[in-house]
Structure 1
Amino acid sequence: MNAMLYFSVVLIWGTTWIAITAQHGEFSPVIGVFWRFAIASFILFFILILSKRLQALSLEDHLFCILQGLCVFGLNFICFYSAVAYMNSGLESVIFSMAVLFNAVNSHLFFKQKVTKTFVPAAICGIVGICALFWHDIISTDLHWQTLWAVGLCMLGTYGFSLGNMISLRHQRRHKDIFTTNAYGMLYGAMVMALLGLGLKQDFLPSISLQALIALFYLAIAGSVIGFTLYFILIGRIGAGQAAYSTLLFPLVALIISTIWENYHWHFSSVLGIAFILLGNWILFTQPSWLLKYLGKSRQKSCSDM
């Protein structure tokens, strides 16, 4: 079950990259995020009310849903959508892969969760793999102040995503229905985007192409309603650190799509990157005994040296 959830998230979020590209330039970041989560929250509430599964939440729960909306259904996407004007998507994916480390650290800080022995080598393999996979994008990026600003935005957006993961874990530990908390979180995120859009006097109904409209509904339904629900369920089952490892895999799906539709050219570093990412996944999920034994010996040696 965990493997099915994991790879469903990878497949869904891996395909959202092409959808974001399809609507880029036709929406402002604020309006694009608003419509995405306004539609997603409407669908979730409709399903919950129709099935009589909408759960009553306390004031405290609603406050955390507001925070969740800001962290993972709103401001974090503003960061990424704004950064794309100065940075290619490959480098954004590299930075977003930091969610693995952010989640591990935040899980320990907020919930005292222990980091598994194999997490560090698996995360290292994944991050090295992502860097190798997008190496040509990295070295082709001009490091001027706009790029540094974009890097900062991406780091901020990634950390916001990680904080949203912690809030979801908080909800699940208090046995709150994940569909209900997601629905309210998306609603509050959309409301904040609406206020920003009004304050900035942006057009909520711009003239857009059919392609952008299809992309919007795909992002709202598949990327948000289904993708985030499966991802947060995965957090509750295997922990935030391991669930976030999917952020290292979905760029592979995006790259395959790019090869077919955008004529992406493969290099040796791309193949090397895939090998490292697959190795990291294998380490994380199989927990090989030889590695555990080696890590145990290394820890004992370091302690004896002290």
Structure 2
Amino acid sequence: MNLALYLTVVLIWGTTWIAIAMQRGPVAAPVSIFWRFALASSCLWLILVLSRTLKRLNRRDHLFCLLQGCCVFGFNFYCLYTAAAYISSGLESVIFSMAVLFNALNARFFFGQPLKPQIIGAALLGGCGILALFWRELCATSLSTTLPLGVGLCLLGAYGFSLGNMISTRHQRRGLDTLSTNAWAMLYGALVMGLIALLRGERFMPELNLRYLGALSYLAIFGSVIAFGAYFKLVGRIGASQAAYSSLLIPLVALTVSTVCEGYVWHPNAVAGLAMILAGNLVMFARPGRGVGAAE
């Protein structure tokens, strides 16, 4: 069962990046995000209501669900959808894996958890990895502002996702039901993105073609409802640290898909950069005094 859940998370989240790229076009990013999480929250709400497992929350918990929705199901995806216009989906997933490092820093800031001794090494590996990953582009004489913008948006999205994880940690410490808080957070995230789209005067009509609607359905049902459900179930079975090892394999899946679908070319510097970023993530999960592969 654990292996099935693990593979579900890796394969689904490793392929959602190309689905995000497939939604690029005339539909504005806030509108695409609105439809994604409106559909996802509707499905999750239906499941919880029919199974009678939806838990009530107080006003303060609803406020934190609103913040979680903005961080995890709203603005971070706004950054990622926008960045998809500047860099490939596979590279987005690699940069987004830096959320592991942001989690450690935010846990220290918000909960006073001590920083692991290896965090400096992980940060250096991650930073050098991103530099190596885009070395060819950085050395190009015609370098424009789009590449730094794409990388910056991915990092900003990863940090927003990390903030959402801190709110989820707060929920769990209070003993709140994860699926119930996710259902509310998805709903709030969809409403906030819908409000932004409305204020900007965007059209809410999605593209009525197989490419867009197929990507939307995959992101909502598989990427949001099923993958999040599998991930949190895995966390409950084997612990958060071991479940987080999925972040080591998701970029590999995403880059493989990007190679096939987007023509991503593997240069030596890209291979070295990917290796350093994944090594940095692996270092984050190691216990001091034990092998790098030791999980907490």
Query: Could you say if the C-alpha distance between residues 283 and 81 of structure 1 is closer, same or farther in structure 2, counting changes exceeding 3 Å?
Result: closer
Instruction: Tell me which residue corresponds to 2:171.
Output: 171
How much has 1:80 moved relative to structure 2?
Answer: 1.8
TM-score (norm 2): 0.82
Query: Could you say if the C-alpha distance between residues 170 and 235 of structure 1 is closer, same or farther in structure 2, counting changes exceeding 3 Å?
Result: farther
How much has 1:124 moved relative to structure 2?
Answer: 4.6
Distance 1:140 1:8 in 2: 39
TM-score (norm 1): 0.80
1:97-108 matched pairs, under 5 angstroms: 97-108=97-108
Distance 2:277 2:96 in 1: 15
Distance 1:46 1:123 in 2: 42
How much has 1:280 moved relative to structure 2?
Answer: 5.0
How much has 1:196 moved relative to structure 2?
Answer: 1.5
Q: Which amino acid aligns with 1:105?
A: L
Q: Is the 8 A contact 1:33 1:74 kept in 2?
A: yes
Instruction: Tell me which residue corresponds to 2:32.
Output: 32
1:9-28 matched pairs, under 5 angstroms: 9-28=9-28
Query: Could you say if the C-alpha distance between residues 141 and 112 of structure 1 is closer, same or farther in structure 2, counting changes exceeding 3 Å?
Result: farther
Q: Is the 8 A contact 1:182 1:229 kept in 2?
A: no
Query: Structure 1 residues 25-34 or 132-141, which shifts more?
Result: 132-141
Q: Which amino acid aligns with 1:183?
A: A
Unaligned runs of 5+ in 2: none
Instruction: Tell me which residue corresponds to 2:67.
Output: 67
Instruction: Tell me which residue corresponds to 2:53.
Output: 53
Post-superposition Cα deviations, 1:108-158, rounded to whole Å, max 9, x if no partner, equal 111122333445545654555565455545656965445544444333322
Q: Which amino acid aligns with 1:262?
A: E
Distance 1:273 1:149 in 2: 19
Distance 2:278 2:146 in 1: 33
Distance 2:163 2:288 in 1: 30
Query: Could you say if the C-alpha distance between residues 144 and 136 of structure 1 is closer, same or farther in structure 2, counting changes exceeding 3 Å?
Result: closer
Query: Structure 1 residues 210-219 or 254-263, which shifts more?
Result: 254-263
Distance 1:264 1:216 in 2: 23
How much has 1:62 moved relative to structure 2?
Answer: 0.6
Query: Could you say if the C-alpha distance between residues 57 and 269 of structure 1 is closer, same or farther in structure 2, counting changes exceeding 3 Å?
Result: same
Q: Is the 8 A contact 2:90 2:255 kept in 1?
A: no
Query: Structure 1 residues 230-239 or 109-118, which shifts more?
Result: 230-239
How much has 1:216 moved relative to structure 2?
Answer: 0.5
1:163-202 matched pairs, under 5 angstroms: 163-202=163-202
Query: Could you say if the C-alpha distance between residues 256 and 194 of structure 1 is closer, same or farther in structure 2, counting changes exceeding 3 Å?
Result: same
Percent identity, aligned pairs only? 56
For the aligned residues, what is the CA RMSD? 3.3
Q: Does residue 1:224 correspond to 2:249, yes or no?
A: no
Pairs aligned (count) = 291
Unaligned runs of 5+ in 1: 293-306
Q: Which amino acid aligns with 1:186?
A: M
Query: Structure 1 residues 268-277 or 204-213, which shifts more?
Result: 268-277
Distance 1:131 1:2 in 2: 35
Query: Could you say if the C-alpha distance between residues 176 and 65 of structure 1 is closer, same or farther in structure 2, counting changes exceeding 3 Å?
Result: same
Query: Could you say if the C-alpha distance between residues 102 and 145 of structure 1 is closer, same or farther in structure 2, counting changes exceeding 3 Å?
Result: same
Instruction: Tell me which residue corresponds to 1:114.
Output: 114
Instruction: Tell me which residue corresponds to 1:260.
Output: 260
Q: Which amino acid aligns with 2:170?
A: R
How much has 1:88 moved relative to structure 2?
Answer: 4.2
Q: Is the 8 A contact 1:122 1:283 kept in 2?
A: yes
Query: Structure 1 residues 201-210 or 133-142, which shifts more?
Result: 133-142
How much has 1:275 moved relative to structure 2?
Answer: 4.5
Query: Could you say if the C-alpha distance between residues 130 and 15 of structure 1 is closer, same or farther in structure 2, counting changes exceeding 3 Å?
Result: farther
Query: Could you say if the C-alpha distance between residues 175 and 141 of structure 1 is closer, same or farther in structure 2, counting changes exceeding 3 Å?
Result: farther
